[in-house]
Amino acid sequence: MFSRNTLMKIAIVLDEEEQISLPKARRYWVHPILRQRKRKGEFSTLYKELIDDETKFHRYFRMSPNEFHQLHEILKSDLTKQNTTFRESISSLEKLAVCLRFLATGDSFQTISFSYRLGHSTVHAIVQEVCNAVIRKLLAVCIPTPRRKDWEKIAEQFWTTWNFPNCLGALDGKHIEITAPSNSGSNYFNYKKTFSVVLLALVDADYKFIAVDIGSYGKNSDGGIFSTSRLGKSLNNGTLDIPDCKNLPGTNIEAPYVIVGDSAFPLKANLLRPYPELQVQGDMEKRIFNYRLCRARRVVENAFGILAQRFRLYFRKINSKPNYIENIILTTCILHNFLRNGTSVLSESSSSSEQNQPIFMALPGIGNNARLEAFHDREKFTAFFNSEVGSVSWQNDKI
């Protein structure tokens, strides 16, 4: 038999458990502050005024009114929802404005929810909905899989703009700081002592993304990410549809088409990296080669700078789940190309099913060591740069 005091304690514990298990009643169906969205929300009050001032509109959305409405026309069908008897749906125009404002500033969902007078979860859902719509509609058009003619066009542009021959693109990685995901251990902890995911990108001579790989752990190296990516696999097995070897301009030296990267990447037949610092000391020919390669490679660094200046999200720590972050980053890369291409991107065909995926795709694998014959390919480029000084016009550049 329980004593009286024991029975009282049991009754108190059971009563507390019953109170904890009861669901908390909602105070409002819609909070009074949110009910004023159509009269006092930022979209209702500010958007109408921004339309009349193109400069301020561009500062707010990071694109011109014409580009904004073109983008809206593309995404409108995917963002429009049906009204119900309970409430009116949020317009596609306002959804796009919310998402672009998030990308342009990197403000928290809570901050945007207060300014637009929308629920916190609603803002989060809108951003993901718009990002998914951008990926579905524009990925194949803005970042298509290059074919042989496309590679040749890119190489010609690198030669005329940056004086580097047979170049298919500049390759590099960018660490994007995030809030440490729960139960992730040290996977996202990088050498900068922050948590990040990696954006690995191949960029053409006009700062446009040819291919992107997003979401790799911050602890991974650029070379390791590249070796397990779809591009790295395709480059190794020869299925990238790269043009055949071509004579370097003004010479009879035949050399392959190459991708240029920094010292973090391996040396391969179609992937060039600079000479090590110890080999460059006292050797003017190798110094010239490294200078020319760096001049072409820094295009990808410039592309990252343009991307970050346009979408200030990259200057802040992104607080979201890793799979959501991947969609957000991919959306900014697509919009970057969309804005650099202008209206011409709308006329390009995206009917091919092979263009529905970017070139880069994370695949399990182990990187290969550089093949010995790749060294001789770099020697060809070095010989060219030292024998054809006049053709590449570097005598006026500082080395």
Q: Are 175 and 196 in contact (CB under 8 A)?
A: yes
pTM: 0.82
Same domain, 204 and 102: no
Q: Which amino acid is at 166?
A: N
Q: What is the pLDDT of residue 313?
A: 94
Q: Report the domain count for the chain.
A: 2
Q: Is the pLDDT of residue 356 over 70?
A: no
Distance CA 86, CA 25 (A): 19
List own/partner pairs for 107-112 with CB under 8 A and 24 or more apart.
108/319
Q: With respect to residue 1, please indicate whether it lies within any of the assigned structural domains.
A: no
Q: What is the mean pLDDT of residues 357-363?
A: 48
> 154 and 64 in one domain?
no
Here the tokens at position 369 are 């060591």
pLDDT tens per residue, range 191-244: 999 999 999 999 999 999 999 999 899 999 999 999 888 888 888 888 888 999
Half-sphere exposure of 294 (CA within 13 A, CB side): 13
CA distance 45 to 38: 8
| 62 CA to centre of own chain | 16
Residue 256 token pair = 């392959």
Q: Do residues 137 and 149 share a domain? A: no
pLDDT digits (tens, 9 = 90+) for 35-84: 777 788 888 889 889 998 999 999 999 999 999 999 999 999 999 988 87
Which of left, alpha, beta for 135 (phi over 0: left; psi -120 to 50: alpha)? alpha
Average pLDDT of the chain is: 83
The answer to whether position 277 is within a domain reads yes
DSSP states along 95-125: HHHHHHHHHHH---HHHHHHHHT--HHHHHH
How many Cβ atoms sit within 10 Å of the Cβ of residue 352?
Answer: 11
Judgement on whether residues 191 and 339 belong to the same structural domain of the protein: yes
d(Cα 311, Cα 102) in Å, to the nearest integer? Answer: 9
Closest-CA residue to 357 (of 171, 168, 231): 231
Q: Do 241 and 94 fall into the same domain?
A: no
Question: Domain span at residue 45?
Answer: 34-141
